[in-house]
Chain A
């Protein structure tokens, strides 16, 4: 018996030794110039572990950044986890991770808990309808105005596709879809449509970005919304087969102008990058830290804001404009 207890105890000790120390963020005394790293020469002046958790919307981008940064700084290891913006925020506040990925705006309650944040990329939410939609042609010609989205998604005044295009003879009911899981995309969409939070959106809640896309593809009367990187086939630049992105009639002239049409990825990218696409639903993706970042974490965030920007587009995110980049960098100082 005693022998068994001893074995067990020693086993426990050994395993606890084998487990890596949690978030060993050894602050590097001298944050190296990160720019020279892009020359391709491995730079070993930085070392340590950076732990990141948070929004699923930023997760794929963060893995790319972590991978590239690790190539230039082989001594820097990463621990990247998803879990949602709220988890990232909670982990950051608790000091469990160095960086939290937040795909929504930072709330005052969170800033009050010593949260510091910078925007690192732009993203946008676009409306989607099925390519089988009975009034698809009229919608493509006329666009849908913000006011109409408000009446569909928030007030519920508009319930048929005929009302959307101004043709009362069409009585097909609109099947409204929204995200059931709390998501930055839904919050942005709600703000665009005139609501305040995700809970203001009407519609059937489906779970997750792929599901809402899939549901709209299958339902000719459906309307939904999706992130830039999920509604376009990133390699070909076309929309995902089965969906149409309705033009947003920004100037309310009752017709879809060239800048309001988002038929291919590049159209949408340009509209978001040069600001013609309204914000919201365009949004910033943010990184949060507990207090101002320093040392290794600071070096990594600075790298994301400079050299890291070049990887955004291929992953389906929109890089910051030079002014926004400068603004974020200034905030870090």
Chain B
């Protein structure tokens, strides 16, 4: 690369018939090289950051990893730190349940909204709807939490839980659907947290999906329409297959946000360290565990280590999730190119 710069610099001298003095060129080349190296180092920083964070968490959680077998920590389902029982399983499951409900609630409407905005909407509709959606993404999580507390928790308690209990979860139903059973009727729980999360991640998912739909060349749409396909057929047969990996990427992005969301979730989720069996149960996700206890407990050595290993578990869960989905997306892309 630097050789290339040298060549072009000497060529430049020839072309300009020596009018440019050499030191100026040397300075320009040096400037270029300096920029390249600086930017390279800055690019490396995030990689180092992930490494340092992981190592720091590992070091700080070492006291507890050293005391208890990893299997007991990860899959133990009792959390009583003062009795020396540090089971993360309820928290890992809580994280999973809350995020899964959030994603399941968010993705279908997000897909429809982004299809509408990208394929059907009038330019004027789009110019109003897009900024409004971006605005939703800018609302701070704590505001969503308060909204959840004031609106969603009572809604779940007064409307969703009774009707679900009547129609889906009640024992007189031939096969009671246990994930809809109402065991703790207060409104605080996975469903409330899932609804809040769904609303929080929707703007992000819509905006990414919309951008992905816009990458499909218009020629493809025109070709499809020209042979007599309806707009719906065009979307269904031409556009959607093109963007499938991208849609998955958008969902992954939303899920990553959901897995890590802390304050809005902990305000409505009920925070009971139990293994949930129903979407109306309370749960206790990992980020909430850390946020609830870190300030108070960091002077108790083993508790501190337990919370930091919870952070480590969360980091690992999110990393595994992201790597897996990256692999899936890559495979999808490869298959698409192959065909």
Contacts and interface: CB of A to CB of B under 8 A. Distances in A.
Interface of A: 1, 83-87, 89-90, 93, 107, 109-110, 173, 175, 177, 180-183, 196-197, 199-200, 203-207, 211, 214, 218-219, 222
B298 A86 contact: yes
Contacts of A182: 292-293, 295-297
A89 B272 contact: no
B128 to A, nearest CB: 36
Contacts of B301: 109
Contacts of B80: 197, 199-200
Contact of B270 (A87, A200, A204, A214): A204
A183 B296 contact: yes
A218 B154 contact: yes
Contact of A204 (B79, B82, B184): B184
Contacts of A86: 294-300
Contacts of A200: 80, 82
A110 B297 CA distance: 11
Contacts of B185: 173, 175
Contacts of B184: 204
Contacts of B299: 86, 89-90, 93, 107, 109-110
B149 interface: yes
B297 A180 contact: no
Nearest to B157: A219
Contacts of A207: 266-267, 271, 292
B102 to A, nearest CB: 19
Interface in B277-301: 282, 284, 288, 291-301
Nearest to A94: B299
B89 interface: no
Given A204-B184, A204-B271, A219-B186, A1 B296 contact: no
A180 B270 CA distance: 8
B116 interface: no
B188 interface: yes
Given A196-B82, A204-B184, A219-B186, A211 B296 contact: no
Nearest to B82: A197
A203 B266 CA distance: 14
A181 B109 CA distance: 34
Contacts of B155: none
Nearest to A190: B82
A96 to B, nearest CB: 12
B297 A199 contact: no
A199 B82 contact: yes
Nearest to A110: B299
Interface in B282-335: 282, 284, 288, 291-301
B173 interface: no
A93 B282 CA distance: 36
Interface of B: 31, 34, 79-82, 149, 154, 184-186, 188, 266-267, 270-273, 282, 284, 288, 291-301
Contacts of B296: 84-87, 181-183
B295 A204 contact: no
A83, A182, A183 pick with most chain B CB within 10 angstroms: A182
A200 B291 CA distance: 19
19 contacts: A84-B295, A86-B295, A86-B296, A93-B299, A107-B299, A107-B300, A109-B299, A110-B300, A177-B186, A180-B271, A181-B292, A181-B296, A182-B297, A197-B80, A197-B81, A197-B82, A199-B273, A205-B271, A207-B266
B39 to A, nearest CB: 15
Contacts of A110: 299-300
A175 B292 contact: no
A207 B266 CA distance: 7
A83 to B, nearest CB: 5
Given A93-B299, A199-B82, A204-B270, 14 more contacts: A1-B34, A175-B186, A177-B186, A181-B296, A182-B295, A200-B80, A205-B282, A206-B267, A207-B266, A211-B149, A211-B267, A214-B149, A218-B154, A219-B186
B270 to A, nearest CB: 4
A80 to B, nearest CB: 16
A180 B295 contact: no
Contacts of B266: 180, 207
Nearest to B153: A215
B79 A83 contact: no
A62 to B, nearest CB: 16
B80 to A, nearest CB: 6
Given A199-B80, A211-B149, A204 B186 contact: yes
Contacts of B297: 86, 182
Contacts of A87: 295-296, 298
Contacts of B284: 205
Contacts of B295: 83-87, 182
Contacts of A107: 299-300
A196 B81 CA distance: 11
A206 B188 contact: yes
B271 A199 contact: no
Contacts of B34: 1
Contacts of A219: 186
A206 B282 CA distance: 11
A87 B284 CA distance: 23
